[in-house]
């Protein structure tokens, strides 16, 4: 197999964190792995863009219980062109020139119990882009031919980027939520990166959405995307009462918490109806989930964690976006603005998503 017919530079621009909580450094001389250095099954992707996710902020800060590898290039929502494939790669599902996406799960063994049961993300040998291996905040990234996701023609790279994490994550959670068309679902964090996509994927499933977040811009976005009810958590003094009133006094059938703060989880059990499902999606750094054991049992409540998705989930989520049924609300920024993007995440001022354009220097 030909390694490449592209001209690959020796160095590139990359955003690097040397230590947890340290300053983000934009370097212009970071080495690019040469085609000859690629192992069988690896590919080199020249990136067009990369989404910026709240998980990237957690990796930079180092506040998750599972520490990242350091030094680290973050990012896991990249889209670009395959420009090299490792020598002796067998039956590669992608070829040179294909446009592909890089996701949070960069690779897994594909042979363990978790992988065989469709939980590749729970494989003990899984590699995580921008966390345990270098990610997509660089111009060229090494990935794996069996794990990159083909991007359909007609779906722009920047429009596809955030589907690869935020979209896949909420899509998988909604599939697991045991909801049916016409059911009520509450989405705390609905105006954020995960949340605004959850609103859209929920509507496609025929669900009735109650959006919880704060701010006029997020309110307008959520209602525009199809949420039937908006609750501003800073203005409303009794969210439980408000949810119950909207849902005929019974409560919601499901809650999908997309917020990355502990507050999104605090009252969720209380506004679920009997038999309701709490889907835990957002990942606060050190928060705990507190629930009344009595009412969890008495109301037959199910609490379920949902962690990103597998390769099939990614293909399905991307296909829905390619057909125009889900659209990421995003702005383009250069990679050099990443530190400012992180500040916006910490302050909760980012509406939708930010996509970093690698062509903007």
Instruction: Kindly report, residue by residue over 122-156, the tens digit of the pLDDT.
Output: 999 999 999 999 999 999 999 999 999 999 999 99
Of 33, 5, 3, 30, the closest CA to residue 15 belongs to: 30
Write out the H or E segment, with its range, that includes residue 84.
Answer: strand 78-85
For the cut 80, the answer to whether the pLDDT of residue 187 exceeds it is: yes
What whole-number distance in Å separates Cα of residue 84 and Cα of residue 6? 8
pLDDT band for position 361 (cuts 50, 70, 90): low
β-pair type (184-188, 208-213): parallel
For the cut 80, the answer to whether the pLDDT of residue 200 exceeds it is: yes
Give the pLDDT confidence score for residue 1 in this predicted structure: 47
Half-sphere exposure of 201 (CA within 13 A, CB side): 31
Once rounded to an integer, what is the mean pLDDT over residues 309-317? 98
Instruction: Kindly report, residue by residue over 55-93, the tens digit of the pLDDT.
Output: 999 999 998 999 999 999 999 999 999 999 999 999 999
DSSP category for residue 196: H
Give phi and psi for 159, each to the nearest 5.
-75, -25
Once rounded to an integer, what is the mean pLDDT over residues 305-333? 97
* Percent of the chain topping pLDDT 90: 87
């Amino acid at each position: 197999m030909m390694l490449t017919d592209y001209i690959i530079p020796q160095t590139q621009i990359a955003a690097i964190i040397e230590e947890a909580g340290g300053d983000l450094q934009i370097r212009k001389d970071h080495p690019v792995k040469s085609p000859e250095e690629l192992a069988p099954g690896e590919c080199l992707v020249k990136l067009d863009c990369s989404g910026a996710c709240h998980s990237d902020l957690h990796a930079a800060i180092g506040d998750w219980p599972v520490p990242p590898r350091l030094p680290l290039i973050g990012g896991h929502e990249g889209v670009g062109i395959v420009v090299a494939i490792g020598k002796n790669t067998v039956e590669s599902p992608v070829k040179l020139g294909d446009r592909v996406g890089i996701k949070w799960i960069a690779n897994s063994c594909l042979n363990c119990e978790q992988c065989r049961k469709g939980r590749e993300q729970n494989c003990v040998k899984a590699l995580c882009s921008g966390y345990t291996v270098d990610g997509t905040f660089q111009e060229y990234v090494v990935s794996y031919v069996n794990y990159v996701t083909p991007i359909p023609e007609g779906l722009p790279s920047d429009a596809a980027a955030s589907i690869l994490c935020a979209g896949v994550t909420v899509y998988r959670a909604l599939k697991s939520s045991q909801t049916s068309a016409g059911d009520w679902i509450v989405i705390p964090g609905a105006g954020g990166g995960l949340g605004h996509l959850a609103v859209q994927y929920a509507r496609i499933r025929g669900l009735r959405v109650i959006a919880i977040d704060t701010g006029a811009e997020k309110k307008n976005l959520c209602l525009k995307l199809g949420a039937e009810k908006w609750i501003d958590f800073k203005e409303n003094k009794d969210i439980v009462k408000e949810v119950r009133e909207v849902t005929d006094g019974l409560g919601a059938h499901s809650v999908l918490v997309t917020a990355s703060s502990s507050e999104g989880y605090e009252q969720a059990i209380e506004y679920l109806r009997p038999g309701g499902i709490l889907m835990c999606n957002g990942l606060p750094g050190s928060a705990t989930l507190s629930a009344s054991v009595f009412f969890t049992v008495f109301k037959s409540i199910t609490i379920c964690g949902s962690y990103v998705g597998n390769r099939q989930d990614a293909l399905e989520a991307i296909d829905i976006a390619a057909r125009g049924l889900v659209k990421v609300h995003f702005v383009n920024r250069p990679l050099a603005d990443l530190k400012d993007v992180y500040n916006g995440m910490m302050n909760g001022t980012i509406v939708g998503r930010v996509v970093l354009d690698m062509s903007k220097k």
